A and B are shown apart, each in its own frame.
Chain A
Amino acid sequence: MSAPTRSRPSVVYGVLIAALLLAMLAGIGFGAVAVPPGEIIASMGRGLSGSMSGTRDALVVDVRLPRVILAALVGACLSGAGVLYQALFRNALADPYILGVSSGAGLGTMIVFVLTAEATALRYVGVPAGAFVGAALTILLVTRLAATHGRLDTASLLLSGVAISYTLAALTSFIMLFARESMATLVFWMMGGLSGSSWPYIWAVTPMFLLGGILPMLDRRSLNLMLLGDDRAEQLGVDIERLKRRVLASGSLLVAAAVAVSGLIGFVGLMVPHMVRLVLGPDHRMLLPASVLGGATVMVLADLVARTILAPVEIPVGIVTALTGGPFFVWLLVRGGDRT
C-alpha cells in the first residue's frame, strides 16, 4: 500500500453528511409515485407543523420518511458493529452477519415474538431486548472460541461463524413453526427487509444506536491500541478486559437494534468499514463515525434499489446487500484483505 495520506475530518464529515442527505432525498423521492425534492421539503414542513393534507403528505411523512430514517439507522448500526467487531478480533473480515451474531439476535427476536403472541404491545421493548440477549450470548460464544486459540485466524473465525449461524438459523426456523399464522411476515423479516417501517420502530432503535454507536467514540484511541494486540494495548495503558466488555456490549446493542427491526441483513458491516479504511486509514477516530455515516448512506441506497428494481414487487434489502456483499467478501478473502 502506498503511503496513506490523511484527509481533514471536516471535509470528510461534510462529504459523508451531504451524501447521506442526498441519498435520503432520493429514497423519499423515488418510488411508485415520484416526489420532487421541493415537494418533499414542503410536505415535511407541513408534517412538522401538524398541518398535513392529502395523500402525498402522508406518503412522504408516514411512509417514506420513516423508511429512509430506519434504513439509515440500520445501516449505521450494522456498519458500526462491523467496526467494533473488527477491532475486537483484529480481523477485517469480522462482521455481525459472518460471525453469526445477527443469527443470535434473530433467534432472540423470534423467541420473544412467539412468547408475546398474546401481548403484542410488549414487543416494542421485548423484541429489541431479546435481540440484544441473543447477540450478546452469541458474541460471548465466539470470543470464547477465539480465546482458546489466542488470536482467531480468519479460517477459524469464518468456520465458527458458519457453524453458529447454521445452528441458530435452524433453531429460529424451528421456533417459527409455533407462529404459523405470521409465518410469511417472519420469513420475509428473516431475509432482511425494511418494509414494515414505521415511527415506533424508529423510537425503539434510536436509543440503542445512540448508546452503541456514540459511547465507543470515547474509546476511539483504545480501539486503535487494541489492534496492536492485548498485551501491547495493556502495556500502553489500556485496561483491555474492561474495554472488551464495553466493545462487546456496544456491538451487541447495535446488532440487536438492526436485527430487531429489519431481520438479517448481511455484509454491510463488512463492506462499508473496509472501504472507509481504504480511503481514511484504520484510525478509529475517523473510521467509526465515517463508517456509521457511510453505512447509513449505503443502506438507504440499497433499500431504494430493493423497492424499485422490480417495482411494483419489493425484494428484501438483505438480498441486495448479499448480492453485492457476497462477491465482495470472496474478493477480500482471495486477496487476503483480512489484515488491512
Chain B
Amino acid sequence: MSAARPTMSTDPAAPGLRFSRATVGYGETPIVSGVSLEVGRGELVGLIGPNGAGKSTLLKTITGGARLLAGSLQIAGIAHDALDAPARARIVGVVPQSPPAIFSFTAREFVAMGRHAHLGRLTHESPADGAIIERVMDLTDTTRLAPEAVNTLSGGDLQRLTLAQALAQEPQVLLLDEPTSHLDLNHRLQVLDLVRDLAEDGLAVLGVFHDLDLAARYSDRLAIVASGEIRVCGTPPEVLTPQHLREVFAVRAVVGTDPVTGTVSITPVVREQSAVTPYRETVFVLCGSGSGATLMRRLVLDGYRVTACALSRGDVDRSVAEALGVEFVELPPFGLLSGEQTREVERLAHQARLRVVCDVPFGSGNLANLEVVERAAGPTLLLGEFDADRDFADGAATKVWERLAGQADSVSAPSDADVLGMIRGMLESDERP
C-alpha cells in the first residue's frame, strides 16, 4: 500500500459547504428545514440561535452524525454521501464542544491522531506528518504541552489541543461547535484570532456560537437558526437587530457598536418573560444620558409599567427604553421639543401614578420635560442634589426644581437611595379611591 492515500478530487472553485433547500434531522424527524446556506472558502460563518434549535444538528449533518432528509449538501463540491469517514476527514475538521480525555495519551500523540485519515494501515507517521503536527501545535500555542498526559490537562488546554488535532487533518472546511466554551478570555481571543487567520488563508469555517458579541466580532456572516429554519442570514449588523433578538431569543437587548472593535455589541436588558408580567402601576421616569437605565430596568422587572420623557437618538436611556418596551417621546438630536411632542410627554407624565426625576443635568433641550413634571399632579420623587452644575439653562432649571421640591407630595432623595423601596412606599401612602 502506498503512503499517499487517494484524495477524492475536491473542486477548488466550489464553496467549502453548500446546503441547498436541505432538511436535516435524526431518524425520520426533521429538525431544521429549508436550509440554503453557503460557506465560501475564506469565509467564517457563525450559527447562532436558542438552545436546541438545531445549530449542532446542521454541523452533525456534515460529519454524518445527523441525516440529510431532503435537499442536498455539498462538501468542497462533493455530494456529502459520496464521502466515507476517512475521505470526509481529509476535507472536514471538527472541534467539538467538550472533547473527552479519559486516557493518558500525551498531547503530541493526541494531536497526531489528526493525521489518521492521511495514513494507510501499514504506513507510519512520516517526517512530513511530524512537521505538520509541530506546525499546528505551534499555531495553537500547545507545543510546550507535547509530553504531558492529556488526562491531566485543563479544559482550555484540551480544547486548544483538539483544535490542533482538527488542523492536523489539513482540512478545507473547519466546523466549530462552541469552540471557546472552556477557554479563558486570553485564549478565547487567541483561538478565534487564529481561526480568523486560517479563514483569511482560504479555510471555510462554520461555527456555532453562543456568545453573540464574539460571533459578531469574528464572523463574516451570521445565520440565526430558530424554530426549525434559518430565520435570517447576513452580516452581523443585519442579523443582530433588537427585533431579531427579541423574536428569537426572547430577550430585549440594546444593540450598539463596540467603541474599540467597531463590531456589533449586545447588552441584554431583560428577558421577554420578565417583561410581560402584568403591570402594577405606571411610573414616569425623567431621565437621559444613562441616568435612568438601571431604574427603568428594575421597575420593569418589578412589574411596573414605565413611561419616559423625551429622549434623543444615541442616548443610552433611549436604547434601554426601546429594549424594555418603555413608552417615550422621540426627541430630535440637539433639538427642542415641539408643541406636539410636549403634549405627548405631558400625557405620559399625567397618566403615571408617580413621576421620578433622575439625577440628570438640565439644559434648554430637556428643560421642557421638567416643566411638564411640575405641572402634573400627584407624587414626585426627585433624585440627587440640585446645584449649579446640573443647570445648563441659566438658572431656569434651578427655579423649576425648587418649585417642584416645594410641592407637598414631592420627596427628595440622594440618587443612591433605595429608590425602588421609596417608590413602593410613596405609592402605598398615596392610595386614591
Contact = CB atoms under 8 A, between A and B. Distances in A.
A281 B105 contact: yes
Contacts of A4: 104, 106, 147, 149
A232 B102 CA distance: 13
Interface residues on A, range: 20 to 34
Contact of B65 (A3, A231, A281): A231
A interface secondary structure, majority: loop
A281 B104 contact: yes
Contact of B149 (A1, A224, A227, A229): A1
A281 B116 contact: no
Interface in A1-41: 1, 3-6
Given A234-B64, A235-B94, A218 B121 contact: yes
A1 B262 CA distance: 46
A319 to B, nearest CB: 32
B301 interface: no
Interface stretch (A60-68, A74-82, A188-196, A237-245): A237-245
10 contacts: A1-B151, A3-B147, A218-B122, A227-B103, A231-B63, A231-B96, A234-B65, A236-B117, A239-B85, A277-B104
A236 B89 contact: yes
A167 interface: no
A31 B64 CA distance: 60
A309 interface: no
B99 interface: yes
A219 B99 CA distance: 22
B165 interface: yes
Given A235-B63, A237-B89, 19 more contacts: A3-B106, A4-B104, A90-B102, A218-B122, A225-B113, A227-B103, A228-B100, A234-B65, A235-B89, A235-B92, A236-B114, A236-B169, A239-B85, A239-B86, A281-B106, A281-B109, A283-B105, A339-B151, A340-B103
A282 interface: yes
Interface of A: 1, 3-6, 90, 218-219, 221-222, 224-225, 227-229, 231-232, 234-240, 277, 281-283, 339-340
Instruction: Name the residue in A6, A232, A235, A236 with the highest tally of chain B Cβ atoms < 10 Å from its Cβ.
Output: A235
Contacts of A227: 102-103, 105
B387 interface: no
Instruction: Name the residue in A3, A90, A237, A283 with the highest tally of chain B Cβ atoms < 10 Å from its Cβ.
Output: A237
Contacts of B78: none
B394 interface: no
Contacts of A6: 106
B95 to A, nearest CB: 9
B68 to A, nearest CB: 16
B149 A222 contact: no
Contacts of A222: 116
Contacts of B119: 221
B418 interface: no
Given A227-B103, A281-B106, A237 B116 contact: yes
